[in-house]
Structure 1
Amino acid sequence: MVEGESGLLAISPPWSRPEYEPSKRRLTWPNGATATLFNAVEPDQLRGPQFDCAWCDELAKWRYAQEAWDQLQFGLRLGAHPRQVVTTTPRPIPLVRALLTDARTVVTRGRTLDNADNLAASFLAAIQERYGGTRLGRQELEAELLDDVPGALWTRAMIDTARTRCDLPDMQRVVVGVDPSGTTGEDKGDGIGIVIAGKGVDGRAYVLGDWTCKLSPAGWGRRTVEAFGTFKGDRIVAEKNFGGAMVQSVIRTADPKVPVTMVNASRGKVLRAEPIAALYEQGRVTHCGEGLAPLEDQMCAITHDGFVGEGSPDRVDALVWALTELMVERQSSPPGSGLQVVRR
């Protein structure tokens, strides 16, 4: 917004170029007008200041979108006609939907191709070939606001409910879920899902981080152990279907002392994910970690017919393993009685 190639400093004419003071998060124009930068991760920064104009960039990606937006509205009270502009990829979060249906909102849409004169031809050709006609392409390239995937186990509304600003309680347990793959770290294989989750003393599950990566076996082994140490984990739960003893060996090589449980994916991804989706429907899971958007996007692409996204749902698989270990207990059942699920 400020220092980028299309930022205010680059596009302002010399006679009206503002002075930027990064330490003060402030821009000052020759005529005395000022602008202050705020971080949407900290909505309370917006308590107290007041403005006559606001520019909200990538609103749909704000971690605490509704809370930060609300605080901004209270301070947008100077001048005869305070206004604000939002520039964002149209992800279907409740706040963006509400703004689009508000009679006071004026909507302007811009496609990537509308900016073709300023973009490399090779870039345009590559993204059109790769993403043209896909859901991701319609959202990112065509500025379409897409609804939830039909039949998805997780909806955007469920994710938004789970994503709250929270003070973490003490944790009873913390688990690192790992979904290995056959990638060497240099190929185009799937990533290695690494998701950290905990169970609080309040009985709720908390998703604490997503450390998914695409590294060599030695690399992802070290990353898994690092996540275990950073979040003070109690156990690593890893799927053994892809590599069997090799997966445990990779983790043990990084640290021979970490406790590891190997789990067998005897059922399909959807069947494994359904009890976890039910926890979200019951409001028993909170997303507190940073950088969870890629995981949440994968979650919303899991349907009863399978994964409709691209590649493998490595992040979701790791999440399912972690939350199953924390929140779902499978017990042996009499012949013919099927699977008994007991909520912990």
Structure 2
Amino acid sequence: MSRGRAKRQMIADLADPGVMSLEQLKAEVAGLVRADELSARRWACEVPECNGLPHEGWLHHHARAAQRQPLWLWTVWMLLTGRGWGKSRTAAELVREWAKTPGLQIAVVAKNATLVRDICFDSPKSGLLSVFPPEEVAKYNSSLGETTLRLKNGTLIRGFGAETPDNLRGWAFDKAWADEYAAWSRHTAQEVYDMLWFCLREAELPQVVISTTPKPLPHVKRLVERGRAQEKKLQEGGEPPRVVLTRGHMRENDANLSPAAREELEEEYAGTRLGRQELSGELLEDVEGALWKGWMLEVEGFRPRPEHLPDLQRLVVAVDPATKSHEDADMTAFTVAGRGWPVETMFGDDRPRGYLLHCEQDRFTPTAAMKRAAALYHEHRADCVVIEANNGGDYLPALLGQVDPTVNWRIVHATRGKRARAAPAAQLYEQARVSHVGPARLFAELEEQMTTFVGQGETEDSPDLLDSAVWALWDLFLDPTMPPPRAGNDQRLSGRR
């Protein structure tokens, strides 16, 4: 009702267009448009727990309560949230608030110079140019060599790429915005962050806002641990935290998101490890003793599209079979993997790379399992099927031969424990030499097994998908003593490049 009264009063205050000249009418319309533009730029109201939707006094969408900066004296505000939560807009609006002080020097740092310009400055919905009124801007320089925004009050906002720490050497700033901190190179991110703080050494009130989707990387976890420790002290009656953590899910910003895009993202990623990170904004903690660490699944290029793969010199289907098929039996797992040399690294790191193309698991009878292995073999034009034959499974190759005599196969036996066998495969991931090709959902179960597998013997569930992936990588990379596959009648591979 209050919003209705406000609108009726606004209409009553309008001039009567019937007694206005054309010029007066145009001026009135222009004034109304300008007033609406100014209203739309307003950011944060004082209503506690405001959801950011229009209400009396705020006719446009604006900041939710979680998007308003902490009221106490803080030094680092880390927006550790899911995609679409509004963290970039929140950081840009905070920079605008800082910039009201004349003569400030503000740094904006992103993964590289291109992203600084295109995301932090030029983005039409969350960039700095979208939140600053044009009349406040004196000059904007958007060249890749130098991205700067100079305001009429003398404040200067300067963009930097986080490629190398020396990009920041020698500068002095009062405030800083670090965008997508978790996407910075894990090799240099901590050093760039440290250099940024050296640039703030003379600031009267140094502050850094960090907007990032969380990833379990050392430089991210270090800040999160500081924030958690300070939150704990606050709960025990201590001082408010100087490192403030704000967490949030994509759904909190539903009012500003495309329903179709949201549904597509949730259908594709909900329930997956990647979805917990990218949608829920969870910082996925590493399991103590696990061979695979979360960052190994986050390196650049880890999830290439199928059309971007190089020619694969070898390709195998690895099978970790169950010897029983009743409802409580272990799963039979299949992994399809290949080996090749990506063109872009051919003249740098000349080692071959592994590509997991497919994985699945289910309960099969032995015959059904071998039929599925043969189907994957033909579908992916593989070189051979690698079958673990422990626990009485030695008959499976013969069964595969009966199901499809054209399939080349290799039989392997586990002579060491699961952890000892898996450790060299995990090292391939640590060296960033393995990629998972295709949608994250396809590998969700495998990646969960990887990041939780410790190898505690009988006390730990058998990771069937992980076992099959390990066998595939051993065959492709790790065991030069593997015998050649049993020759079959299939000639399909002769023409494959």
TM-score by length of 2: 0.40
Structure 2: gaps spanning 5 or more residues: 1-60, 63-80, 85-110, 132-212, 228-242, 252-272, 343-351, 483-497
- Equivalent residues in 2 for 1:89-168 (5 A)? 93-94=215-216, 105=246, 107=248, 147-161=285-299, 163-166=302-305, 167-168=308-309
Partner residue of 1:327 out of 467, 473, 477 = 477
Shift of residue 160, structure 1, vs aligned partner: 1.8
Q: Could you tell me which residue of structure 2 aligns to residue 49 of structure 1?
A: none
Shift of residue 212, structure 1, vs aligned partner: 2.0
Residues 1:196 and 2:336 are matched in the alignment: yes
Cα 1:294–1:164 shift into 2, 3 Å: same
Distance 2:424 2:478 in 1: 8
- Opposite residue 387 of structure 2, the aligned amino acid is A
SS at match of 1:164: coil
Shift of residue 331, structure 1, vs aligned partner: 4.7
Larger CA deviation: 314-323 vs 244-253: 244-253
Contact (CA 8 Å) 1:177, 1:321: kept in 2 or not? yes
Residues 1:298 and 2:460 are matched in the alignment: no
Distance 1:278 1:227 in 2: 27
Q: Which deviations, in whole Å up to 9, do the C-alpha atoms of 1:211-265 show, x marking residues without a partner?
A: 2222222222221111111111001101011333322133223312101100010
Q: Could you tell me which residue of structure 2 aligns to residue 229 of structure 1?
A: 378
Q: Could you tell me which residue of structure 1 aligns to residue 108 of structure 2?
A: none
Shift of residue 144, structure 1, vs aligned partner: 7.8
Distance 1:72 1:242 in 2: 55
Contact (CA 8 Å) 1:307, 1:313: kept in 2 or not? no
Residues 1:172 and 2:313 are matched in the alignment: yes
Q: Could you tell me which residue of structure 1 aligns to residue 419 of structure 2?
A: 270
Cα 1:58–1:144 shift into 2, 3 Å: closer
Larger CA deviation: 239-248 vs 203-212: 239-248
Q: Could you tell me which residue of structure 1 aligns to residue 69 of structure 2?
A: none
Partner residue of 2:354 out of 168, 184, 205 = 205
- Opposite residue 408 of structure 2, the aligned amino acid is P
Distance 1:105 1:197 in 2: 40
Residues 1:219 and 2:219 are matched in the alignment: no
Q: Could you tell me which residue of structure 2 aligns to residue 249 of structure 1?
A: 398
Partner residue of 1:288 out of 420, 437, 440 = 437
Distance 2:480 2:370 in 1: 28
SS at match of 1:300: helix
SS at match of 2:385: strand
Q: Matched residues, percent identical?
A: 33
Distance 1:312 1:72 in 2: 45
The count of residues paired between Structure 1 and Structure 2 equals 230
TM-score by length of 1: 0.56
